[in-house]
């Protein structure tokens, strides 16, 4: 995780400095690496607006637990990004079926293959899971439609 923490600020530096960065495209696929599997199994980044990151929790119990941990989670996200982008963390409980299902987690853990022209070079990253997740986040971020 320290390796990604050092790589991300360099890769996303210009985009993160934008007034409204699309942090969800970076955070969602990397969420288990940022906060750990236990928290990631029960929460997802859902919205980012004006420095406020909204997380969805899968039940009221986890919502309460995450509210008690907002300072720690916010600090970990900012440490991971290499700068204090998230000023406040908001927790909402969402009870949609399958929002946090095992199949959804498997989709996040196994990023799709990418065309060569949008993939980043990850040869220097020893962990193949981190390399694949980072490459997927990079491609999603830099190839999104610009409005």
Query: In the prediction, which pLDDT does 90 show?
Result: 96
Task: For 35-48, write each residue's pLDDT tens digit.
Answer: 999 999 999 999 99
In whole angstroms, give the CA distance from residue 131 to residue 98.
Answer: 27
Rounded to two decimals, the pTM is 0.58
pLDDT (mean) for 1-23: 57
| DSSP track, 88-111 | EEEEEE---TTTT-HHHHHHHHSP
Query: In the prediction, which pLDDT does 136 show?
Result: 74
For residue 62, is pLDDT > 70? yes
Maximum mean pLDDT: which of 13-27, 36-50, 99-113:
36-50
């Amino acid at each position: 995780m320290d390796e990604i923490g050092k790589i991300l600020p360099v890769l996303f530096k210009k985009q993160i400095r934008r007034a409204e960065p699309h942090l969800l495209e970076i955070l969602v696929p990397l969420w288990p690496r940022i906060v750990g599997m236990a928290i990631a199994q029960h929460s997802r980044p859902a919205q980012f607006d004006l420095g406020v990151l909204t997380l969805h929790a899968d039940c009221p119990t986890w919502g309460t637990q995450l509210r008690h941990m907002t300072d720690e989670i916010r600090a970990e996200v900012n440490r991971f990004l290499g700068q204090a982008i998230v000023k406040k963390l908001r927790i909402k409980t969402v009870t949609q079926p399958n929002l946090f299902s095992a199949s959804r987690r498997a989709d996040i853990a196994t990023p799709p293959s990418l065309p060569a022209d949008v993939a980043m070079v990850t040869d220097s990253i020893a962990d193949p899971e981190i390399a694949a997740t980072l490459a997927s986040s990079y491609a999603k971020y830099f190839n999104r439609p610009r409005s």
